[in-house]
Chain A
Amino acid sequence: MSGWLSDFMNVPAKYIHFNSWLQISVSNLIVILIMVALFAAAILLPFPGSHSKSNSHRGDK
């Protein structure tokens, strides 16, 4: 393998040490942050074609 991606990947993982017991590799941290961002986007972004006013039955107890 050669190229920028393998130059980036074929090296030992860089670790972030928060303290003696909490440490995480940069790559794992990036993946977790992507998942958190996807989760937030899935909750917050409006779904195309949905009429947000039509679910007025929600919460009107």
Chain B
Amino acid sequence: MTTQNLESETPTPEDSKMWTARLRNAWQRNLPIDKLLPDTQPAYVASWIYVFGVLTIAAFVDILISGLILAFAGPAWYHTSSLGLFVNSLHFWGVQLFFVFMVVHLWGKFWMAAWRGRRTATWITGMVAFLASIGTAFTGYLIQTNFDAQWIAFEAKDGFNAVGIGAFFTPTNIGQIMLIHVALLPLVLGVITVMHVLLVRKHGVVPPIDALPEIEA
């Protein structure tokens, strides 16, 4: 609150110029709580194709939890003990499911042209999530420390040098790649996913292409 408001009549939230008030007002306008946490959806949402976004999130949660266990226990555990191999497998197969779900989700959104009605940012954040996932999977394969990983690293090194970014990303530097894989990229992917879902909440689910114009949001 500014002192100027204290002197005048009762300050309305719109009066305040503080960044907290401006953020609050913008949030209230764009994403009121009933839009953020709805308990009903339009009839057309009752289809399996709308489940694939949340299936992707479920696979992501599996990857995060199993990855956290792998990071704390270390390769000496997850490469040797049977429980370690099991958690390693939860992580690996979670990634396979993550990509399968994400691609079916992408196909669904593509064929219903889900970027209609000012939903461009939803589509773009989805695309960025896809690219970030590829980077995360790539760095994951690099830290398997087997012959596959070595082969991929040395092929990628040549590719990175050819496009001029070899000075910043060195696939053969396992310390760098492991930190990017466990710290940076999961965070980036998590933040993008939150933005993506908040945008879906803000705009509401896109109406089918053959819906009446007045249903169009």
* Size bin of chain A's contact surface: 10 to 19
Determine if B52 and A54 form an interchain contact, defined as CB atoms under 8 angstroms apart. Answer: no
Q: A1-B85, A38-B104 are in contact. Are A45 and B210 (CB under 8 A)?
A: no
Q: How many residues of B contact A (CB 8 A)?
A: 20
Most chain B beta-carbon neighbours within 10 Å: one of A41, A54, A55: A55
Tell me how far the C-beta of B127 lies from the nearest C-beta in chain A, rounded to whole angstroms. Answer: 18
- Contact A31-B51, Cβ < 8 Å, known A54-B43, A58-B44: no
Cβ–Cβ contact A57 & B212, under 8 A:
yes
In the complex, A47→B104 CA distance in Å?
17
Query: Quick check: A58 and B46 within 8 Å, CB to CB?
Result: no
Residue ranges of A at the interface with B (Cβ–Cβ < 8 Å): 1, 31, 34-35, 38-39, 41-43, 45, 47, 49-50, 54-55, 57-59, 61
25 contacting pairs across A/B (C-beta < 8 A)? A1-B85, A31-B96, A34-B100, A35-B100, A35-B103, A35-B107, A38-B100, A39-B104, A39-B108, A42-B47, A42-B48, A42-B51, A43-B49, A45-B48, A47-B47, A50-B47, A54-B43, A55-B43, A55-B44, A57-B43, A57-B211, A57-B212, A58-B44, A58-B210, A61-B212
